[in-house]
Amino acid sequence: MKIGILANISKTGIRETLHPFARWLLDKGMGVAMAGELKELACPGMEGVKTVPVEKLAESCDLVVAMGGDGTMLSAARHVGISRKPVLGVNLGRLGFLAEVSPQDLYRRMEDVFEGRYGIEERMLLEAGVKTNSGSHVFHALNDVVIEKTGISRLIQVQITVNGEFFADFRSDGIILSTPTGSTAYSLAAGGPVVVPTMDAMILCPICSHSLTARPTVLPGGSRVLFKLLSGRREVSISIDGQNTARMTAQTTLEVGRADHFFRLITFKNQSYFELLRQKLQWGLPPPGQ
């Protein structure tokens, strides 16, 4: 088996975690591949570790181990792309909704993978098409696509159409369109609902709307959502998973729908999403002392 490794090199302890793990994989006869910058930091001179450009990592392996936090998992979703290679997340950060495996459990979980004792969850991805006068670009998001004002600009006004039917004009600080996976990210902070990540749905959530009647809305997963900026003189940005950005003007068309491919996340039988909510968010638990 060939293992590709992605990691956030800014995380504390990344070398102490990655170096012995790579050695352990090699001793088991596994192939190991990672970007050159990561190898120089964590595994300098380690024979047997193949260096590949990060954008070609998925082509060089059977599965990807992503070490860091949920931001690293979002990067993994982007780099894995349409290869359908499964990803195992190792949490070196704080919450870790996507990167659930701790460094202490890493070796045990990898043994489970080698023995086939794991499952695959297919998580929905959004495909965002951005069209401007100068051309068009396509982005993919595991968490969300966000339209929001920049700097100290005033409220922005965005017209939203769903499947060709007028939905609403929102005057707000911005709009979040999230996947169920992203429902516990920015959307949750803006007042959106928690949605079980395997559902086929989208969550449309205004940010600080100027109307008390503008509420988060759950849409069918197959919806096509078109955004048009009506406040043309405002400074507005489009953010894809907080990692790619584009400028939005009155001449920009943003259309978002479900991508044709999924993000394939490695999971284990004794992991429960509801237990994860209780653990990470203190979800549904009584206050301390009660």
Looking at the DSSP bridge assignments, the partners of residue 212 are none
Please give the structure tokens belonging to residue 138: 């396509």
Grouping H, G, I as helix, E, B as strand and the rest as coil, residue 182 is: helix
Which of the 8 DSSP states describes residue 101?
Answer: B
Helices (H), the chain: 14-27, 36-42, 70-80, 106-114, 186-189, 273-281
Please give the structure tokens belonging to residue 11: 């995380």
| Active-site residue (options: 27, 70, 105, 260) | 70
Looking at the DSSP bridge assignments, the partners of residue 240 are 145, 244
Please give the structure tokens belonging to residue 41: 């930091």
Please give the structure tokens belonging to residue 91: 């949490």
200 among known catalytic residues: no
Residues with active-site annotation: 70
